[in-house]
Structure 1
Amino acid sequence: MLTAPSLSVHAQRAAALAREFLKDAKQMNDEMDKQDPLKPKLPASAKAVAQANREFDNEMSALAHACPA
């Protein structure tokens, strides 16, 4: 459990971003399942997945920097 306010903010944000990533990834996969398999393309929701992933990585990097192994 993280109790330091500066770390807690990053941990809570990372958890929220993980949930957002999973929700967005499900939507993206659902949209891809509806596509013609011979004409695949990334749906617009892929941008949301990528953005959530980038932000999650940033939060995890901040935590790793503050709490080295």
Structure 2
Amino acid sequence: MCERCDDFSRTVLLFVDLLRYAKRPGADKNFASEVSTALAASLPEPFSFPPGYDPTAGPQHPGEER
């Protein structure tokens, strides 16, 4: 995988961990808000999916029309 793709993947995993943290009882919501802003700023500009990624290729979810 390319270095840019690795960075993108790590950032997404950090977002997932931050979301899990924010949902815990007693989580510091201000901390989660500040860190999420910093993570969003670290995404590639302009944001783009890795080459060959098709966001519509996944399974159809209940209530979703294609």
TM-score class normalised by the smaller sequence: 0.5 to 0.7
Change in Cα spacing, 1:13 to 1:60, as seen in structure 2 (3 Å) is farther
Q: 10, 13, 17: which is aligned to 1:23?
A: 17
Higher helix share: 1
| 1: CA distance, partners of 2:3 / 2:45 | 9
What do you get for the CA RMSD once the two structures are aligned? 3.4
- Larger gyration radius, structure 1 or structure 2: 1
Equivalent residue number for residue 10 of structure 1: 4
Equivalent residue number for residue 37 of structure 2: 50
Q: Which runs of 5+ in 1 are unaligned?
A: 3-7, 36-41
Which consecutive aligned stretches of 4+ in structure 1 deviate over 2 angstroms post-superposition? 59-64
Q: Identical aligned pairs, as a percentage?
A: 4
Q: Any idea what the Cα deviations from partners look like across 1:27-49, whole Å, max 9, x if unmatched?
A: 1232xx548xxxxxx42222112
Count of residue pairs the alignment pairs up: 53
Q: Which runs of 5+ in 2 are unaligned?
A: 52-66
Structure showing greater relative contact order (alpha-carbon pairs closer than 8 Å, 6 or more residues apart)? 1
